[in-house]
Homo-oligomer: A and B are copies of this chain.
């Protein structure tokens, strides 16, 4: 644990207030979790609106000037308040994933409750971790601050989205139209997790993502595999051969020029990651695996944080129902994605993939491609003084060093803040690996919620 500064005098009563008010904070979160704000399903549009209104009312109670802001899709929540200090923007999202398969939930996904488990108390319900529980950590920290000090700690903009789980179609237009209003010194994003479910972490490196859908067509209609089998080309055979060729025997991606711009991990970051002592055995063991399956030359942490990938996310063709049908299908399809790092150019990788597929097509076969979006890797600047303040605050709260870590996933909002508002972002979150986000029985540890609130209070005390 690093040396830590003495506690600032403005903080102790705030932490005490957070501790004593935890039961009411949990009740407020349960209220919010009862609103089924599933953004991807149009049937829940009014519930999304209701969640936005709930948050606006809560923000008004905290002294914000807050409003539900319409978009083409689900509304945004924008609130401004406070004075002095750094101008911070806080981002979270109030929409949640669908709940299927419902029969795997042991309680109603929108009937949340505090449950005692072998690993401690958890808040059970859809959105408890992703992202309602996480976003409420910041609002509860502000509530405690205000209860103690009578004001918000500094100038603040709260920006809450309702389409994060459905592709954020309104996000960029809204940011462009409201750039002046949304601009701040730094964005805080609370949608990430603890490292190894234990150590506080600030994500400074995000992989990019390029998605492609490819459909191989052979015969112009489905054929009987008895009549034609052996003579007619089978597009599933073509597709499997193409996909099998995406990796060589050492796990490297074979696309021409794929590694252009990947670069080596800076020594300083490599050293930090080494110090994290990532227990890949435990990480893989949790999901029934044991052996790192990526590039043989990479460490396990590099495989998920700093090395690019090629992954088949979906494949289909022919007859996939019960029983058997001796069809020789006309088409076979796959959804393929590439996680990108360093300076890899998503457009160049897309073209390399398409060129590879086209070159691998046998006679009579054609390929159609459908682009599914592309974002380059993200590298957060840690120049703003809030970063070192956050490391200290997090270490003090969690009793473990706070690391700058990578994230194998893509969180486009961080890049959008830079691109559209010229603003750096700091990603801090308190989720654990077993929170089951996007899955049945999603939960958020009461510890994550409680210490998360306290973490923000500690950070704010350092910044104001």
Show the binding face of A for B, using Cβ within 8 Å.
Answer: 167, 207, 209, 211, 213, 218-234, 236-237, 239-241, 243-247, 280, 283-284, 287-295, 298, 300, 303-304, 307-309, 311-320, 323-329, 332-335, 337, 339, 362-364, 372-373, 407-410, 438-439
Pair B311/A234 contact, Cβ less than 8 Å: yes
Question: Chain B residues with Cβ under 8 A from A213's Cβ?
Answer: 324
Interface centre among A232, A245, A291, A372 (most CB of B within 10 A): A232
Pair A227/B408 contact, Cβ less than 8 Å: yes
What is the CA–CA distance of A292 and B363 in the complex, to the nearest angstrom? 9
Question: Chain B residues with Cβ under 8 A from A314's Cβ?
Answer: 236, 317-320, 325, 327, 329
Pair B237/A247 contact, Cβ less than 8 Å: yes
**Number of identical monomers bound together in the oligomeric complex:** 2
What is the CA–CA distance of A126 and B288 in the complex, to the nearest angstrom? 49
**A231-B292, A362-B293 known; A226 and B313 CB under 8 Å?**
no
Pair A244/B247 contact, Cβ less than 8 Å: no
* Residue ID in chain B nearest A290 by CB atoms: B364
**Residue from B209, B224, B319 in contact with A335 in the complex, judged by beta carbons closer than 8 Å:** B319
Known A-B contacts: A218-B288, A236-B313, A314-B317. Give 18 more (CB < 8 A).
A207-B226, A224-B438, A228-B408, A229-B311, A231-B284, A232-B289, A233-B293, A236-B243, A236-B334, A240-B240, A240-B241, A243-B244, A244-B245, A284-B364, A291-B364, A293-B364, A313-B326, A313-B327
**Residue from B234, B304, B362 in contact with A230 in the complex, judged by beta carbons closer than 8 Å:** B304
Question: Chain B residues with Cβ under 8 A from A337's Cβ?
Answer: 225, 324, 326
What is the CA–CA distance of A334 and B236 in the complex, to the nearest angstrom? 10
Nearest CB on B from A413, distance (A): 14
Pair A211/B324 contact, Cβ less than 8 Å: yes
Pair A339/B229 contact, Cβ less than 8 Å: yes
Pair A226/B315 contact, Cβ less than 8 Å: no
Nearest CB on B from A279, distance (A): 12
Nearest CB on B from A433, distance (A): 8
Interface centre among A244, A324, A364 (most CB of B within 10 A): A324
Question: Chain B residues with Cβ under 8 A from A295's Cβ?
Answer: 230
Question: Chain B residues with Cβ under 8 A from A284's Cβ?
Answer: 231-232, 364
